[in-house]
Chain A
Amino acid sequence: MYRIHLGEFEELILLVVAVMDGNAYGVAVMEALEDQAGRSVNISAVHAALRRLEEKGFVKSEWSEATAERGGRRKRLFTISNAGRLALEQSRDVYIKLWSQIPGFTPNISFT
């Protein structure tokens, strides 16, 4: 089984993209990060992370229709790929495995 390194910030972004289910693009991801994770980052950081994720094959992108508030420019919409989903799951499993081994600390959560 091959392992691909997924940075902490990248993982967060990947999660947000997965949650947004096809509506993820730069500004939206940035705002979601701030709302959901309380992290305020510059738009350029989001772009860079998305680019890296796409290079690694964890997300795919396609152009939307042109929008007025963007001066007639299109949005680049990101969706999570199967490889991305797999990477998230792997990462989650590692966490759970480790959490469960902390003495006297049983996580009371279940994933389906």
Chain B
Amino acid sequence: MMSEHPRPPKWADRFLEWYCRPELLEEIQGDAYELFAKRFKNKDLRTARRHFIWDVLRSFRLSTIKHFKIKISPDMMKSNLNIAWRNMAKQKMYAAIKIGGFAMGIAACLLIALFIKDELSYDKHYPNAERIYRIVGINKAGEYAGKGVDFPAPFAKALRTELPEIELVGRINPNTLFTGGGNPIRRPDETQNNYEEGFTFADQEMLDILQIPMVYGDRAHALDEPNELVITKKIADKYYPNENPVGKTLLANDNTNFPLKIGGVIPDFPSNTHLQFDFLFTLKGVNFYPGEQDNWDASNYHTYVLLRPGTNLRQVEQKMFDTAFDKYLAPLFKKNGMSDEAIADVRETIDLELQPIGDVHLYSANIGASIPHSDIRFVWLFGAIALFILIIACINFINLSTARSANRAKEVGLRKVVGSLRNNLIGQFLTESILFSLLSFLIGILLALLLLPYFNQLANKSLHFPWQEWWFVPVLIGAALVVGMLAGIYPAFYLSSFKPINVLKGNLSLGSKNSFMRSGLVVFQFTTSIVLIIGTFIISQQMDFILNKKIGFDKEQVLMLQGTQTLGNQILTFKNRLKQLPEIQNVTVSDFLPIVGAGTKRNGNTFAEEGQSTNIGEGVGGQIWQIDYDYINTLGIKIVEGRNFSPEMPTDSQGVIINQTLAEKLHFDNPIGKRITNGFQNFQVIGVVEDFNFESMRENVGGICLILGNSPTITSIKINTDDMSKSIKNITSVWKEFAPNQPIRYTFLDESYAKMYEDVQRMGRIFSSFAVFAVIVACLGLFALASFMAEQRAKEIGIRKVLGASVPGILRLLTQSFIKLIMISIIIAVPLAWYLMHKWLEDFAYRTPMSWNIFALSGVIVIFIALFTISFQAIRTATGNPVDALRSE
């Protein structure tokens, strides 16, 4: 019997019959069957079936497949468009929700796409970008574990002489310790200084590596002489407008002994590069202290290389490391008295790698660097948000289309009866959905244009639509067509599948048939919305936590006066004059303040108890801050042991106040009187202060040594007043007496502190904006769905009312199925959000606890929004007169 014969897989056979040209079918199918039979006889059924499938798939070729005719007649097209238009006009509310929701999704997507495109474009525009690398140092273990980009000054010279694979090596030093950052600047023939930012020291080679185009001057000789300076066009226009400033000079810090000669003018750096400078000082002939350029002990230089074409990256990295370590560092360690074993240990724990310049912006999350950068994770996150919002919008579209099927079913039935083919109907529904999509894109683009300035502010970018790019408009149109197709394909197949006989008899259980699918889609929408809402809450809670945590110092009403080093030796007189102002509580002069940025300085040291080694791996890391007698009182830092510095104690110049962390790391049970060293100087501990946060909350508090010293760039003033503007006026007038030619510059400590967490705040704002977007779009969908359901059940509700159902009872009836869906969404969303936000919070050493009430609150909010949305329709239906629903039967 035939049935006892083994059969090839039915679907494969069907597939073959479907695609294959009839005139070829008999031959191909016959051969395939014959091979199947043979293989079954020689081997086994599984192999035979597998080979059969493979044969069928391999036979799927252009030359074997049928000509599927897609007939697009202009008349049909016109008719389809006409019908689509009429449908839209007939159902204005649904059409508006469909298009509006879709447009919002598209606008969000467009904005995020622009953002991502910009993020990905960083540093890709340098002519040799694929050969330019930034050197990254790796510490694999111990206290300093992590990556950094600061290298000793002579490292570049060593690479230049030892490695022929490296075409060029260049360094920049933007460190504020060496007057990088901001400085007062003036023309020699003027007296008024302007405070300018964006200074860095740089090698001539940097210009050659990056091949920066020149506005004025010769690139090959712009920085190759001592005291030369390259400025951007913006700065040139400010100081020497409408002329070629090459050869002219500028004065920095009022220093008339060293006029800076302008060697060249470069265009402003574009916004999409990590190198954002306006002044490049040459490093030629620079020694920040005697022997600095040959000192391997201090790492302050960011080093960039241009590799020769065809160089093997891994080999060069290895060679760089071997050369630098074995030839330069190891002898130095040995000289410092390190044993061979210890040196071998150090060799194991450190390494070098080359980071492509195009990766610097997005892949530097684990690199401690003074240059701000972004993070590839944000790019992924935003991409995911964009995708989800688009999916939500598509779901609305699908949901509404299928839910409205009741109204279209009769149309479909009738069309089929009068001879319409399924393909025609699919074509018609697809036309409709593409029309919707095109309209939505149009509105979405307008919306995005409208929101772009706001979004730019939100993301701290200057994005714009690349209309001038040839591909932009075609891509948009293509995307509109594809999205229209995708969103329309399911409704099209679903609607066109109705059997005319059922529809016309009225047997089709309209709209509710595929409620499972629709429920799933609603759950998806609300899960996404809830996750975004919870994310928003937790980010803002963390921000709150950062701003209000006890940080160990008092940041309120502290004014930081910048650039006070220009007062020279008058600074003490200035300080005392300020102290005489009644509202001023205290004044301190120190560049070292417990915030990051705003011109505050940092350094790196290793400490040990006197007599012990401070070598890598043995000492304890920390910073030395130079402060004055009033520092601790001005900032309200608490002394837990010992005492503050005092002018009456001349020995205090050798004294040091350490923080609890350092005391703990040095294993001092009784720190007062202990002597510590950083390898160069020795100090006696006279006091211990309570730990205060001086770095970002992302890190644990490190060790700190406070010593008496002169660091006069910033003068901090603690004010106690209700009238801040008057106090500022008083301070300004004192400043004018001392420095008539310097503009006064000040910031507030609490504002500078908040600024450190700008990225967190920005992230929170972006999250909340998109959460609002997602919720609106999801609610639009829910609203339409709810009104559709109410409409569908109008008769049922009419009868229920006639039989005595109460309004609340009917309301419950109409809302409970939706509430159930929202509940399911909450159950899915809570663990998901918990997991994601837990990951995010891991970036912070100090973090807010995630309490259950945030999750509960988010759930309640969503339920309320959903209830509110649904109840519009539900109340109207429940309170309506049953006669209206029942009379027309």
Contacts and interface: CB of A to CB of B under 8 A. Distances in A.
Given A43-B32, A69-B37, A70-B33, A26 B58 contact: no
B34 A27 contact: yes
B29 A73 contact: yes
Contacts of A25: 27, 31
B33 A44 contact: no
A49 to B, nearest CB: 11
A44 B64 CA distance: 10
Contacts of A74: 26, 30
B380 interface: no
Which has the most chain B C-beta neighbours within 10 Å: A25, A26, A45?
A26
Which has the most chain A C-beta neighbours within 10 Å: B31, B38, B63?
B31
B12 interface: no
A76 interface: yes
Contact of A43 (B24, B31, B37, B63): B31
The secondary structure that dominates the A interface is mixed
Contacts of B64: 44, 47
A44 B34 contact: no
Given A43-B55, A44-B59, A47-B59, A69 B28 contact: no
How large, as a class, is the contact surface on chain A?
A: 10 to 19
Interface string B48-67: 00000011001101011000
Contacts of B34: 27, 67, 69-70
The secondary structure that dominates the B interface is helix
B30 A44 contact: no
Contacts of B37: 69
B61 A44 contact: yes
B58 A73 contact: no
A71 interface: yes
How large, as a class, is the contact surface on chain B?
A: 20 to 34
Nearest to B25: A73
B30 A43 contact: no
B756 interface: no
B766 interface: no
Interface in B62-100: 63-64
B463 interface: no
B21 to A, nearest CB: 11
A73 B59 contact: no
Interface string A45-57: 1011001000000
B31 A27 contact: yes
A42 interface: yes
Which has the most chain A C-beta neighbours within 10 Å: B30, B33, B55?
B30
A75 interface: yes
Nearest to A71: B33
A27 B24 CA distance: 15
Given A69-B33, A70-B33, A42 B26 contact: no
B26 A44 contact: no
B811 interface: no
A43 B59 contact: yes
A66 to B, nearest CB: 9
B166 interface: no
B885 interface: no
Interface string A12-46: 00000000000001110000000000000011110
B35 interface: yes
B58 A42 contact: yes
A48 B37 CA distance: 22
Contacts of B61: 44, 48
Contacts of A26: 27-28, 30-31
A68 to B, nearest CB: 9
A75 B37 CA distance: 15
**Which 10 pairs across A and B sit closest by C-beta, in order of nearness?**
A73-B30, A26-B31, A44-B59, A70-B30, A44-B58, A76-B27, A69-B37, A42-B58, A71-B33, A27-B31
Interface of B: 24, 26-35, 37-38, 54-55, 58-59, 61, 63-64
16 contacts: A25-B27, A26-B28, A26-B31, A27-B34, A27-B35, A27-B38, A43-B28, A43-B55, A44-B28, A44-B61, A45-B58, A47-B28, A70-B31, A71-B30, A74-B30, A75-B30
Given A42-B54, A47-B27, 4 more contacts: A44-B58, A67-B34, A69-B37, A71-B33
Interface of A: 25-27, 42-45, 47-48, 51, 67, 69-71, 73-76
